[in-house]
Amino acid sequence: MSISSSLNAGVAGLSANATRLATISDNIANSGTYGYKRASADFENFVINQARGAGTYSAGGVRAATTRLIDEHGALVATSNALDLAVSGRGMLPVTTAVSLGAAGTQPLMMTTTGAFRADADGILRTESGLVLLGWPANADGSIPVLPRDTIAGLQPVVINANQTAGDPTTSMNLGVNLPATATEAGASGDVLPLSVEYFGNLGTSDTLDITFTPTVPATGASNTWTMDVRDSAQAGALIGQYTLVFDNTRANGGSLASVTTLSGGPYDPATGTLALNVAGGPITMTIGRLGDPNGLTQLSDSFAPTSITKDGSPVGNLTTVEVDDNGYVTATYDTGFTRRIYQIPVVDVPNPNGLIALNNQTFQVSPDSGSFFLWNAGEGPTGAVVGYAREGSATDVAAELTALIQTQRAYSSNAKVIQTVDEMLQETTNIKR
């Protein structure tokens, strides 16, 4: 009968509002939890169909459907730790559990939007709750290998050893030197001009390229010609390159290189203005300038002066800081001023973030409702950038939750009043027969 259905509807209303109260209490309790995603309860009604024109109505009631709004983002909060990470937009950081690292097989992929990562005793970046940050390790030259984006096979725990040292060997240098034009004129002394340039070997050792410039002194006029010898101190002063340099004396290109002839050693490339030298540790590309280029070797005036000598590489240094940039690249900085890219942190995205399975510690896993994951470069595709020195705050709006709490309380009281009224009506029915 309709009175009984009213009782059932009132009970269903109490249950639904109790569920909504549970989500509100969870949201308020986690209003200060970094990366917390707000839970929401939506009501859905039941309809019990009646024959048309029957003149009776049965209350169907209500039920609560809960969901976690994972696609809602909290505001970013600045911190003082470089490895406090958050994603400014869509996407999440790939993590796994610390307890799974020692287990055989592949670690489970979990996702989180933010985390305060610190290096543990083994140098593994992890949070206090045991979430380990995953990334792609870089090659020795800092490049990231090409890896599949739909699997976690290439992901590894990010390891930072605070006691590690590293050096960067020299692979290229730019030689900008001015040679005196007067040294190639008739009657000049013909003195050899020495120059020593430091470079760094594969083991971080400091070696030198000993370069000498010998002028060709003619009987009359000016030759504008020099012989350049390059010797490697790491090979006991062995000659690794000898070149004849002829400089232009025309009005348009006066003082710049007119020709370079290789007598021994690596060849000169006129297209790039470089010499291919082979030192003890491997090849070094030395730029002396293209023909007619005033920015390389020059012959002007009467002074011998290095104008611009630059090179890459650095000696062995101690690790000082580790930072993560917007593209997810983890860069280590050493006290020698040398920086090295050591990892890339990808950003994980799924078609339906709200379909993810919510786990403890603000982590999530894929499900049939979320769809398969894909590993993006941070800031590419639909994903946001990785932000260091920041945490994502809770998505809870306390004011809105308290307002919903008042509404839920009133709705619960109203449903209780319905049950009380039904009880009184049923009592009256019972009292018909005395």
Q: What is the pLDDT of residues 231-289, one digit of tens each?
A: 999 999 999 999 999 999 999 999 999 999 999 999 999 999 999 999 998 999 999 99
In a domain? residue 307:
yes
Which whole number is the average pLDDT over 287-307?
A: 93
* Pair 337, 222 in one domain: no
* Pair 229, 119 in one domain: no
Higher confidence at residue 105 or residue 391? 391
* Pair 307, 220 in one domain: yes
Q: What pLDDT does 318 receive? A: 84
* Pair 190, 212 in one domain: yes
Q: What pLDDT does 5 receive? A: 81
* Pair 52, 6 in one domain: yes
* Pair 196, 308 in one domain: yes
Is the CB of residue 65 less than 8 Å from the CB of residue 359?
no
pLDDT tops 70 at residue 51: no
* Pair 255, 198 in one domain: yes
* Pair 148, 193 in one domain: no
Q: What pLDDT does 54 receive? A: 67
In a domain? residue 319:
no
pLDDT tops 60 at residue 1: no
pLDDT tens for 380-428 read 999 999 999 999 999 999 999 999 999 999 999 999 999 898 888 888 8
Which whole number is the average pLDDT over 333-341?
A: 85
pLDDT tops 90 at residue 58: no
Q: What distance in Å separates the CA atoms of residue 112 and residue 384, rounded to the nearest whole number? A: 14
pLDDT tops 90 at residue 315: no
Final residue of a structural domain among 288, 312, 336 = 312
Q: What pLDDT does 339 receive? A: 85
Q: What pLDDT does 115 receive? A: 96
Distance of CA 325 to the CA centre of its chain: 5
In a domain? residue 343:
yes
In a domain? residue 133:
yes
pLDDT tens for 113-153 read 999 999 998 899 999 999 999 999 998 778 899 999 999 98
Q: What pLDDT does 28 receive? A: 96
In a domain? residue 383:
yes
pLDDT band at 50 (very low <50, low <70, confident <90, very high): low
Which whole number is the average pLDDT over 307-334?
A: 90
Helices 2-29 and 398-430 cross at an angle (nearest 10°) of: 160
Closest CA to 340 of 357, 319, 355: 319
Q: What pLDDT does 105 receive? A: 60
3-state secondary structure of 274: strand
In a domain? residue 38:
yes
Q: What distance in Å separates the CA atoms of residue 182 and residue 299, rounded to the nearest whole number? A: 9
**Bridge partner residues of 92 (DSSP):** 348
Q: What pLDDT does 111 receive? A: 96
For residue 340, what are the domain limits? 76-164+324-392
Dihedral of CA atoms 49, 54, 56, 57 in degrees, nearest 10, equals 20
Final residue of a structural domain among 283, 312, 341 = 312
pLDDT tops 70 at residue 164: no
Mean pLDDT score across all residues of the chain: 91
**Bridge partner residues of 275 (DSSP):** 268, 286
In a domain? residue 318:
no
pLDDT tops 90 at residue 93: yes
* Pair 54, 90 in one domain: no
pLDDT tops 90 at residue 343: yes
* Pair 221, 306 in one domain: yes
Number of domains in the chain: 3
Final residue of a structural domain among 312, 333, 358 = 312
Q: What pLDDT does 385 receive? A: 96
Q: What pLDDT does 424 receive? A: 86
Residue type (1 letter), 66: T
Please state whether beta strands 257-265 and 238-247 pair in parallel, antiparallel, or not at all (unpaired). antiparallel
* Pair 213, 287 in one domain: yes
Higher confidence at residue 204 or residue 39? 39
pLDDT tops 90 at residue 312: no
* Pair 180, 306 in one domain: yes
